[in-house]
Structure 1
Amino acid sequence: MDTMRDRFAPVMARLLDEDPRVAVVLAEIGRDAFEEAMRTHPDRVINVGIREQLLVGAGAGLALAGLRPVVHTFASFLVERPFEQVKLDFGHQGVGGVLVSAAASFDWPEGGFTHMAPGDVGVLDTLDGWAVHVPGHPDEAETLLRHAVGPGPDGAAKDDKAYVRLSVQANQAPMPVDGARMLPVRQGHGGVVVAVGPMLDHVLAATEGLDVTVLYATTVRPFDAATLRGAVADLGPGAAADVVLVEPYLAGTSTAAANDALLDVPHRVLGLGVGRAELRRYGRVEEHLRAHGLDAASLRARITAFLRAAA
C-alpha cells in the first residue's frame, strides 16, 4: 500500500491542472515529487527553500492575491516553527489556505525530536477557524485533500483555513469519510470509543469482544458533537456515558470538545494519545506506539480499566 504522502503530489498535480486558483508552496521537503508539476505550472508551484516562516508567509500572500495556497512540509516545521506566521499571516489577515503536513507525531523517529509534532493539533486549537483533517488511509487522504482544497459541493471556490495531517501510519482499509462527520463502526452499550485517523485498526483490535460503540473520526475540527451525542444516547437507558478518545497526537487534545458536546449529560471522558514526555531512544514507530500506550494490547488494558471503574 502506498502512503498518504505518496498520494499528496499526484493529487495536487491533478488539482493544479483542474483549478487555476490552486497553488503549492514547498520548503524543499517533497520537492522531487513536484518536478513535473513545477514544469507544467511554474507560476503556481513555488519552492522557497528551507525557510519555514517564508513558506507560510508566501502562502498567505498567494491567498491575498486570490489563489488557493496549499502549503507543505513536516508538521513541526509547518505548525510549530512558523506559528506566528500561521497566526498573523493567515488568521489576522483573514485569508484562507490549506496546510498539509508530513511526519505526524513520530513518523520519522530517527529524525529526532525536532521532526516530531505531537502538539500540532493542540497548537492550532489556540486559533480560530481552522478545520483539521486526520486521514487514516491514503484513499481518505485523497478525499480529504480534495475536500479541503475545493471547490465545495456547490462548485463555489473555498477560502477557509484547513489543516490536513498526513502520516505513514495507516489503517488497512479506507472508510467513506466526508470531511465532516464521525462514522459509526461498531455498536455497543458499555461506552463510546472514538478512534481518530490511523488509530482505528488499533482501537478495533483493542475493543474486540467488548460491548462498546466505536466511532471513527477523520475530521476533528470542527468537532462532530452531534454524532457523539447520538452515540451516547444510543447506549440505552441507564448506561453510563463513558467516552474514550484515542488520538494519534497529544493525549487530551479533544477532551474539552467532547466535554462541551456532552455538557448537559452526566459523563466521563478519558483522553488517550501521545504523552508529553520526550522519548530520547528514538527507535521505530511501533516502539513509540507501545511506549505511549497506543498499541492494541495497551489500549485494551487502559480502556477496560476506565470502563470497569464506572461499574
Structure 2
Amino acid sequence: MDTMRDRLAPVLSGLLDEDPRVAVVLAEIGADGFADALRRHPDRVINVGIREQLLVGAGAGLALTGMRPVLHTFASFLVERPFEQVKLDLGHQGVGAVLVSAAASFDWPAGGHTHMAPGDVALLDTLDGWTVHVPGHPDEAETLLRHAVAAGDDKVYVRLSVQSNAEARPVDGAHLTTVREGRRGVVVAVGPMLDAVLDATRGLDTAVLYAATVRPFDAAALRRAVRAAGADVVLVEPYLAGTSTAAVGEALHDVPHRVLGLGVGRRELRRYGTVDEHVAAHGLDAGSLRERITGFLGGAAGV
C-alpha cells in the first residue's frame, strides 16, 4: 500500500492544473515529486531551499495576494522551527494557508530528535482558528487534502504519517464517527491509532469513536456517545499525550466525567530504533493500550 505522503504530489499537481489560486511552497523536502508540476506551473511551484521561516513567510505573502498556498516539509520544520512565522505571518496578518507535514511524531527514528514532532498539534493549539486533520489512511489523506485546499482561506494543518490503519473510513473534515457502540466508557481513537484501539478494546463493552479531524473538536458527537456509554473517556492520540483533554473538558463542561489522555510521552527516547519500537515504548501498541484502558475504566468496561 502506498503511504499518505505518496498521495501528496499527485493530488496537489492535479489541483495546480485545476485551480489557478493554488500554489505549492517547498523547502527542498519532497521537491522531486513536483518536477513535472514545476515545468507546467513555474510561477506556482516554489522551492525556497532549506529555509523554513521563509517557507511560511512566502506562503503568507502569496495568501495576501489572494492565492491558496500549500506548504510542505517535515512537521518539526513546518510547525516548530518557524512557529513565529506561523503565529505572525499567518495568524496576526489574518491570512490562511494549508500546512502539510510529514514524519509525524517519530516516523523517521534514524533522523533523531530534530526530525520528531510529537508536540506539533499542541503547539498549534496555542493559536486561534486552526483546523487540524490527522488522517489514518492514504485514502483519507487524499480526501482531507482536497478538503483543506478547498476550504476558502482558512488556516489548515494536515498531519501525514507512515503509520496507517488497514482500511480507510469515511471522513468529512469535521465529524467524529462511531466505529463501535458500547455502554461502558468511550474511547476516541485519532488517525492511525484506530486499528490498535480496536484490537485493544476487542470484547470490551466500550464505544469507539474515530477522529480524523481534531480541531475543531466534534463536541456534539462526544456528548452523544457519553450519554449512551457513560462519562469515562479515553483519548488515544498519535502525538503528545493529553493534547485533546482540554477539548474533551470543554465538550463536557457541564457533565461530571473522567478523562485519560494517551499518546506520545514527554521523555525523549534517545535510541533510534524503529517506528514499532517507539510505538511500544510509548505504550501505544494494542497490548499496552488494553492494559491502560482497562486499568482506567476498571470493571466498568465489561467483557
Provide the TM-score with structure 1 as the length reference.
Answer: 0.96
1:294 is aligned to 2:288: no
Equivalent residue number for residue 58 of structure 1? 58
Q: Distance in 2 between matches of 1:263 and 1:85?
A: 33
Structure 2 equivalent of residue 171 of structure 1: 165
Separation in structure 1 between the aligned mates of residue 278 and residue 294 of structure 2, nearest angstrom: 22
Paired residues of 2:185 and 2:300 also in contact (CA < 8 A): no
SS of the aligned residue for 2:239 comes to: strand
State the 1:56 CA deviation.
0.3
**Backbone CA RMSD of aligned residues:** 0.9
Counterpart of 1:76 in structure 2 is 76
Partner of 2:198: 204
Matched residue SS, 1:38: helix
User: Is residue 278 from structure 1 mapped to residue 268 from structure 2 by the alignment?
Assistant: yes
Shift, 1:234, TM fit: 1.6
Question: Which residue number corresponds to residue 183 of structure 2?
Answer: 189
CA distance in structure 1 between the aligned counterparts of 2:92 and 2:121, rounded to whole angstroms: 19
3-state DSSP of counterpart to 2:23: strand
Runs ≥4 residues deviating over 3 A: none
The equivalent residue for 1:218 is 212
1:266 Cα deviation (Å)? 1.0
C-alpha separation in 1, matches of 2:87 and 2:12: 25
> SS where residue 293 of structure 1 aligns?
coil
Task: Specify every segment of 5 or more residues in structure 1 that has no aligned partner in the other structure, as ranges.
Answer: 153-157
Deviates more, 1:26-35 or 1:259-268: 259-268
* Per-residue Cα deviation, 1:93-121 (whole angstroms, up to 9, x for no partner): 00011000000000000000000000000
SS of aligned partner of 1:220: strand
Query: Quick one: which amino acid aligns to residue 103 of structure 1?
Result: A
- Paired letter, 1:58: A
Return the TM-score normalized by structure 2: 0.98
- The residue number in structure 2 matching 1:155 is none
Counterpart code for 1:188: G
Counterpart residue number, 1:233: 227
1:309 shift after superposition? 7.0
Which secondary structure does the structure 1 equivalent of 2:236 belong to?
strand
Instruction: Give the partner amino acid of 1:180.
Output: A
Percent identity at matched positions? 79
Counterpart CA distance in 1 for 2:267 and 2:36 is 42
Q: How far is the alpha carbon of 1:310 from its aligned partner?
A: 6.3
1:241 deviates by 0.8
2:288 aligned partner, one-letter code: S
Distance 1:310 1:271 in 2: 18
CA distance in 1, matches of 2:92, 2:122: 19
The CA deviation at 1:48 is 0.2
**Structure-1 residue corresponding to 2:241:** 251
Aligned residues: 301
CA distance in 2, matches of 1:85, 1:264: 37
Q: Deviations over 1:190-232 (max 9, x none)?
A: 1000000000000000000000000000100000000000011
Q: CA deviation at 1:282?
A: 1.3
Whole-Å Cα distance in 2 between the matches of residues 115 and 309 of structure 1? 40
Structure 2 CA distance for partners of 1:309 and 1:80, relative to 1, 3 Å: farther
